[in-house]
Amino acid sequence: MKTVTIELPADVLLATGQSKEEFIREAKFLLAVKLFELGRLSSGKAAQLCETGRLEFLLAVGLQGIPVADLDDDEMAAEFSDA
């Protein structure tokens, strides 16, 4: 396990209205979402980053309006041809 330290002014944390633990949990999730969206982390690794299960992560990402699959038209047709 690696540790990354981010310094931020106390008033930033205060402005969020969150506890330190809530802020850390949300920051990890948002970082994981962005790295997943950019294709830099798989859904499994992103879920691991925010300490959740892969399915739970994918559902949460979908609720954020971020596509969880990047299929072109041919891949989409193949995926749903058996449906």
Does any domain span residue 3? no
Q: Report pLDDT for 1.
A: 83
**Assigned domain for 23 exists:** yes
User: What per-residue confidence (pLDDT) applies to 70?
Assistant: 64
Could you tell me if residue 59 is inside a domain?
yes
In a domain, residue 1? The reply is no
Given pLDDT bands bounded at 50, 70 and 90, which one contains residue 83? low
List Cβ neighbours of 70 (8 Å cut-off, separation of 6 or more): 39
Domain count, the chain: 1
> For 13-60, how does the pLDDT look when each residue is reduced to its tens digit (9 = 90+)?
899 999 999 999 999 999 999 999 998 999 999 999 999 999 999 999
- Is residue 2 one of the residues assigned to a domain? no
Rounded to 5 degrees, what angle do the CA atoms 7, 13, 18 make? 135
Domain of 40 in residue numbering reads as 10-80
Between 10 and 77, name the one with better pLDDT.
Answer: 10
Q: Which two tokens stand for residue 5?
A: 């330290």
Backbone angles phi, psi at 76, to 5 degrees: -65, -45
Asked if residue 71 has pLDDT above 60, the reply is no
